[in-house]
Amino acid sequence: MSDWVIEPPELPSVSVAGGGRFPVRRIFCVGRNYAAHAREMGADPDREPPFFFSKPADAVISSDHVPFPTATRSLHFEMELVVAIGRGGQAIAIEQALEHVYGYAAGVDLTRRDLQDEAKLLRRPWDMSKGFDASAPIGLIVPTLQTGHPACGRISLSVDDAIKQDGTLEDMIWSVPEIIAFLSKLVALAPGDLIFTGTPDGVAAVERGARISGSIDGVGTVSFQLV
């Protein structure tokens, strides 16, 4: 007999390449981590330490069909390298940071840009522009045994076969070890945490029906249609 007063929610998870499932505990995201994207968002990439926002764990979706969200007229894609944390820790040193990584995936940080613009203007939180249902489409998580620690591959995204984002991981302002070190000073990282590491330039609005396909060299792909 259990004490739950309602049915406990299903644990969000992501499939792992080669078999098994990765349980998702939390989703953290880095803002403006590529200089050209920071500039297209009207920010100065040179003077800003990394900053973070989050999405609920159950925002992950690995499906060929992703529901177009309510309450937006400007749904933007942001193609991102996702870090899957396999070992927790606090105030992790940069030199040890990669030992905490289980694997990597290709993911998309879907964003209600109109609500985010309004939130920025009114100095309100970003939650409803970033952390809505199904706002974190993600491909397979690939263990580091297969990927190593990608730091220089191509990261790209196309919409209906037209390339919209085409960057390289080398252009990240803050590297994966630096992000882990920084974030673990703010929260105790735990196994199951995902970190979306920011997007190259080229973000834009998409319509219902669009097919979004992203790829990161040496990591994998993410592909879905907005329905």
Q: What mask, x for binding Mn ion by CB under 5 A, covers residues 146 to 185?
A: ----------------------------------------
End-to-end CA distance of the chain: 40
Q: Tokens representing 11?
A: 């644990």
Name which position in 75, 100, 109, 138 contacts Mn ion (CB under 5 A).
109
User: How far apart (Å, rounded) are the C-alpha atoms in residues 91 and 197?
Assistant: 18
> 52 vs 68, which CB is nearer to Mn ion?
52
The CB-of-68 to Mn ion minimum distance in angstroms stands at 18
Q: Which amino acid is at 55?
A: K
Q: Which one of 70-78, 118-126, 143-151, 212-220 is the stretch in contact with Mn ion (CB under 5 A)?
A: 70-78
Residue 107 interacting with Mn ion (CB under 5 A): no
Question: Which is closer to Mn ion, CB of 84 or CB of 89?
Answer: 84
Q: Beta strands 60-61 and 136-137: pairing type?
A: parallel
Piece of the chain touching Mn ion by CB under 5 A; list 6-14, 54-62, 105-113, 118-126: 105-113
Residue 31 CB, nearest approach to Mn ion (Å): 7
Interface pick for Mn ion out of 62, 72, 78, 180 (rule CB under 5 A): 78
**Nearest 10 degrees: Cα torsion 178, 182, 183, 187:** 150
Binding residues for Mn ion restricted to 189-208, rule: CB under 5 A: 199
The residue type found at 33 is N
Widest distance between CA atoms in the chain: 57
Find, among 82, 52, 115, 117, the residue nearest to 192 by Cα: 82
Cα→Cα distances 224→64, 139, 175, Å: 4, 10, 27
Total Cβ atoms within 10 A of residue 82: 27
User: Which region, judged by CB under 5 A, interacts with Mn ion, from 12-20, 77-85, 117-125, 181-189?
Assistant: 77-85
Residues found near Mn ion in the complex (CB under 5 A): 78, 109, 199
